[in-house]
Structure 1
């Protein structure tokens, strides 16, 4: 009997500890207890979790928001702990309470968990347990429960009977017309998602009128979410229905008095274009897009400018060039000189992509002058975005034309006072090297590449060494020996120790690509001579460089030349030099 009592006591222990911790004054302790819920549920077993733990949690939901947030998250992963999908409905009571609390993040997490739990319900269980929950939330006195309900319709609708579906549509439509703006906003946000699972005849009869109603709401926060749903609704309809049901709303919202609504239309414009098809895009959307590009608000112009390339690419091929040249290009010419740098930057990130669309002649005649204007823009981000997309233009107009028009501006940027701009140029040098050819590159840009090695910003010096490696990979070791290595070797005698270290970093990468002969014959002697440098940082980098170089050297020089230098460094008075020398000796021996 005593043994049996003891067993009972032990089985009660986890729930007793949980109760104590959940009632503790320390929030952190309560939070930790919630985070261990799954362990406690495992200890209790399926039956006691259903009969004791879940009811207890349901009754004690009155805590700090962070505790409730953790609880809402935990319950979404509890399916197996209550016996699988068959008993998923046991988790609904605490989640229903959490879905109605005041704090938004807790409600959102509870809704996410409810959506996950709904997946495990059978159609019968949905109608018996989940749909009543949705209906209770949708009819709740507080707006908090009604906003949460909006996110639950789409997960249960596809798997319930026609009668229940009709009730759900009715409830959703009621929420769309709720007196509280927050509820209408939540319904507008979920309208597209719900429309995807509703049968097309009911989309037309029930949801389209509601969509039009929301799009005319007196709150701009509701209208902008209705504008966001335009593309989804349009994708569900036949072309003839789009003109009647969707396009009037698109036109109205693109000219909305609130810039936030117009911004949303601009932001979702490409999705809308793909949904309505080429014909409506040509006859209606092109004019709307043109208006958005010259909107009075910079945020709207920036959003539209960022969509220029995708919009033009998706236009009907038969009318593509005509629409771009007559409707879009005049607006682009204005945006290039826009007063707002975000607008110019958004345009610069996509404008180069127009070259393949409009062809060589139009690029040279109309786009190149715009590229040049942007390359000289005072905003570094605008210049950066143009440089980053040069390859698009090169493929269309050829390198000679590119060189004549853009290279002077690129050289100017390579010496820009802002280091990020210089860095962007360095990263594009290998690309330019491949496009320009060796002779032209030597004439115009090699000296520039060498000057970056002594830049005052470390990130530039580091990028410049990697740049040299990529250039040698393109032009070959012989080119490196004639054009690069002599200039690099001179750096080993520089007064500034940082330049001497950069020399060693260059050797690290050049030895990989120059081959055994050049590495042993030309690069090694200078590295060995630097072992006597008066700066400890240089000496320990000599040890690191010798370790890296060893695998690219002629094996015959390791014992007579490399090892003695490393052994000398291994007894250096500086502790770091000794450490890296011993590492190098071990590395080479291994």
Structure 2
């Protein structure tokens, strides 16, 4: 389809666009930028190339918010200038944006430039893209040189061999730049660049640059080389990684800056997988122990999050002799953030250690974490107990942890109570109905009267799930009578909870249960003095009607009981009650 519009009186003549983009109001200019694709379609590809893009190239002096939107829009502009053959035309305004002061604008411009580089031909790369990199990389201001660092990877494989040599040489200069911000940008992009380069060139050119950046005087540069190490190790063989990277890795683990050690800890599992089993066994186990014992809480927090992932790369005996003693210390760490991180991950050790070791070594630690004073620690350990259950079985788990779980069911932090509620159906399905009724039945009912709405709501959903686990007959004799008894409570919140609970449970029970047990209570609440209860009764009927229609024996109740009740609610003095009654009638009788 030809999008050119030859008529000089185009729907969007360039003069109108100039007025919009020159408006005093920033929001007006921002909206104009966000409509660039529409404007370009109206102008057609020729006028877009000849008029719109040159204008944008000269419109870089604006608010950062506008420039950011422009940088993003231009990354998706190839089709509007006539496709790949003309894509290089967009490079001009993006080059200017890549040199501005605001970091977010430069980053978005670099992102858009790399998107365009992917569609460029080798000739366009040679003629337009590489000269752009040179100009940015040799700019007087560090801002343009930092942007240049992010452009090499996208162009390298398309460039000619001689240009590839030149690109590696130019990138080397940026890695040795006098300005720390430029070296930081080079370090941030070194790994991406390495992945585009043949292995022999990685060894000759990239690894020396990596080693130098990893020893940079600025820790903000050194910490970025951690991800470079992972990227380079993934290119090399395990033996090559040991030869070229091991010494640098050892230095990183004991770096004087905690921020570098934090990055090592944060990426430790990736590093272990990349360098291989031998280096992990011989060097990384002790290094990981040092990180778990680091004097900075942030480092210990990051290392705690890596425990199960790292344990998968070493044998069980090494875990028991080296890693587990550290884990035991971390359970009582002075930092609540360390304990919270550990609580999220410690359950992941259970499948690795097996039933016997989990029972002996981990269960006491789980119990300790379940009693932690910091609610997030308790919350994190609860949310991961399913992994432990799969390894040791529900019987052992319940014997050891059930008292703590029951205690947490009344925790003062509602999020902890909520986590326990969400865990109950799984626990119930494996405990069995007799054990559940004895130990947890009353607990589940008590949540219906909780003073936090989210808990009461979750409790009603819990009852539905329990009905699905134990069956309708169990629900009919065990929980439905208790729920319905609350319908006569003088406190309207209890009556409201009754309506919520039976509405939620209705799809999980039979039409006969609704007829015999639930419908009489709902009918009684039609006359409740509280409007909120009456309109929730109307909403409840809307849910009950489809269930009653499932049986010939109960469908007769629709005309006998449900419709008269809804007709009464439809005449209610409260607007909301009338609305929901009408809605239920429409849904049930259409």
**TM-score normalised to structure 2 length:** 0.96
State the match for 1:437 in structure 2.
432
1:527 aligns with 2:518: no
State the match for 2:241 in structure 1.
242
Contact 2:394 2:427 in 1 (8 A): no
Sort the Cα spacing of 1:153 and 1:462 in 2 relative to 1 into closer, same or farther, 3 A. same
Sort the Cα spacing of 1:259 and 1:584 in 2 relative to 1 into closer, same or farther, 3 A. same
Distance 1:30 1:474 in 2: 59
The count of aligned residue pairs is 580
Distance 1:150 1:235 in 2: 21
Sort the Cα spacing of 1:489 and 1:43 in 2 relative to 1 into closer, same or farther, 3 A. closer
State the match for 2:585 in structure 1.
585
Distance 1:589 1:46 in 2: 57
Contact 1:126 1:160 in 2 (8 A): yes
Which runs of 4 or more aligned residues in structure 1 lie more than 4 Å from their structure 2 counterparts after TM superposition? none
Contact 1:15 1:40 in 2 (8 A): no
Residue 534 (structure 2) aligned to one of 513, 535, 539: 539
Sort the Cα spacing of 1:120 and 1:338 in 2 relative to 1 into closer, same or farther, 3 A. same
State the match for 1:348 in structure 2.
343
State the match for 2:87 in structure 1.
88
Distance 1:54 1:310 in 2: 50
State the match for 1:3 in structure 2.
none
Contact 1:504 1:541 in 2 (8 A): yes
Post-superposition Cα deviations, 1:281-306, rounded to whole Å, max 9, x if no partner, equal 11111111111111111111010101
SS in 2 for 1:359: helix
1:409 aligns with 2:404: yes
Distance 1:450 1:39 in 2: 59
State the match for 2:450 in structure 1.
455
Distance 2:55 2:292 in 1: 58
State the match for 1:196 in structure 2.
195
Sort the Cα spacing of 1:36 and 1:495 in 2 relative to 1 into closer, same or farther, 3 A. same
Distance 2:46 2:538 in 1: 67
SS in 2 for 1:314: coil
Distance 1:26 1:129 in 2: 35
SS in 1 for 2:332: coil
Structure 1 unmatched runs, 5+: 1-6
Distance 1:299 1:385 in 2: 18
Residue 402 (structure 1) shift: 1.2
Residue 226 (structure 1) shift: 0.9
SS in 2 for 1:403: helix
The correspondence of residues 300-315 of structure 1 with structure 2, limited to 5 A, is 300-315=299-314
Residue 12 (structure 1) shift: 10
SS in 1 for 2:195: helix
Structure 2 unmatched runs, 5+: 1-5, 549-553
Residue 43 (structure 1) shift: 2.9
State the match for 2:575 in structure 1.
575
Distance 1:484 1:515 in 2: 15
Residue 491 (structure 1) shift: 0.3
SS in 1 for 2:119: coil
Distance 1:124 1:479 in 2: 76
Q: Alpha carbon RMSD of aligned pairs, Å? A: 1.5
State the match for 2:562 in structure 1.
562
State the match for 2:272 in structure 1.
273
**TM-score normalised to structure 1 length:** 0.96
Distance 2:48 2:542 in 1: 61
Contact 1:47 1:82 in 2 (8 A): yes
Residue 386 (structure 1) aligned to one of 361, 381, 384: 381
